[in-house]
Structure 1
C-alpha cells in the first residue's frame, strides 16, 4: 500500500483509525502486508503532515515492513528518510534498507536515472514482499505484543 497523506487514502488502517479520517461509507480495510510512505524532503526535515499521519496510526505500524519512496532536490529526500527510519523503529516497524529516491532537479529522469529508479523500485518491492509474508506468518503463529 502506498499512501501519501495529501491523498486522504487511509482506508487501509484499522477501523478506529479509519473512522477518524475516512468517510463513513468507506469500504472495509484490506489486509495490508507492507507499507511505503511517500516522503519528501522539506528543509531536511519530515513534513508535519506526514509525521502526523504516522503518529495517528500508531498501532497499525507495529510488526509491519516499511519501505520508503522519497523525492527532493539534490538529496532525493534521503534526509527525511533518515529521520523516518528512527520514527518507524520506535513504532516497532521493520524498515527496508533500500530507498526509491527521485531527484526533482533532474527535470524528468533521463534514461539512466529512470532505469535506476525502476531497479530500485523492483528491489524495494521484493524486500517488502519478503518481509510482508514473513511478518504475516509470524503474526499468525504468535501475535505481536509491544
Structure 2
C-alpha cells in the first residue's frame, strides 16, 4: 500500500535514483557501465533516474573556505535524490580519490537514504572498493545494500567497456534495484514522517 505522499493524481511518484559515475580518468569504462546500468533502471516505472558524472563538475583542487558553484550543484543533486547507485572502479584495492572528494562535499544530503554499488576491476570485480565505500557511507548515515553488481574487466564480463547481459548479471541488477527501491521508499516515508537526526 502506498502512502498519500507517494501518489500524485492517483499515480505513484517514482523514486529518484542518482547513478553516480565515480571515475574521472581519461579512458575510463565507467561511463559505459553507468549507461548500461541506468538503462536497466530506466526500464522500471517506479524509478526516475539521473546520471551524475563527476567529470562534468569542475571541483576545486583543494577544499575551499566557501563552496564553489560546482560543489553546490553536486550537493543539491544529492539532496534531491532518494537513492543512489555508485558506479566505481577499483584502483589499488580502493576507490578513486575523485569519488571520495565528491562524497565529502555533502553530509546531510546523504543521510537516511540507501546506496548500492556497481563496481568493476581487474580480477576482483571491484569488491575491495565496495567494502571500503560501505565504511565511508556508514559514517554518513547511509544504508548500504547487501548485494552489488561486480564486473571483472579481465574476464568475460565486459566487451569494449560494455557489460554483457548474462542471466546472472540481469538477476544481480534486478536484485540491487529491488533493494534500492524498497529501502528508498521506506526511508523516504520515514524522513517525511520525522526529520532524520544524526
Q: TM-score range by the shorter chain?
A: 0.7 to 0.9
- Runs (4+) of structure 1 exceeding 4 A deviation are 107-110
Q: Does the 8 Å CA contact 1:36/1:68 hold for their aligned counterparts? A: yes
Report the Cα offset of residue 20 of structure 1. 3.1
Q: Under a length normalisation based on structure 1, what TM-score does the superposition of the two structures give?
A: 0.82
Q: Does 1:137 align with 2:192?
A: no
Asked which structure has the greater CA Rg, the reply is: 2
Q: Does the 8 Å CA contact 1:72/1:102 hold for their aligned counterparts? A: yes
Q: Does the 8 Å CA contact 1:17/1:57 hold for their aligned counterparts? A: no
Report the Cα offset of residue 113 of structure 1. 7.0
Query: In structure 2, which of residues 52, 58, 70 is the aligned counterpart of residue 20 of structure 1?
Result: 70
Give the 5 Å matches for 1:1-146.
Answer: 1-5=18-22, 6=24, 7-8=53-54, 19-21=69-71, 29=77, 31-109=80-158, 114-146=166-198
Aligned length: 138
Q: Which has the higher helix share?
A: 1
What is the DSSP-based 3-state SS (H/G/I as helix, E as strand, rest coil) of the residue aligned with 1:102?
strand
- Residues 38-63 of structure 1: per-residue CA shift (max 9 Å, x gap): 11111101211111111112222110
Q: Which has the higher strand share?
A: 2
TM-aligned CA distance change 1:119 to 1:17, over 3 Å: farther
| Coordinate RMSD, CA, aligned | 2.8
CA distance in 2, matches of 1:128, 1:96: 7
Report the Cα offset of residue 83 of structure 1. 0.4
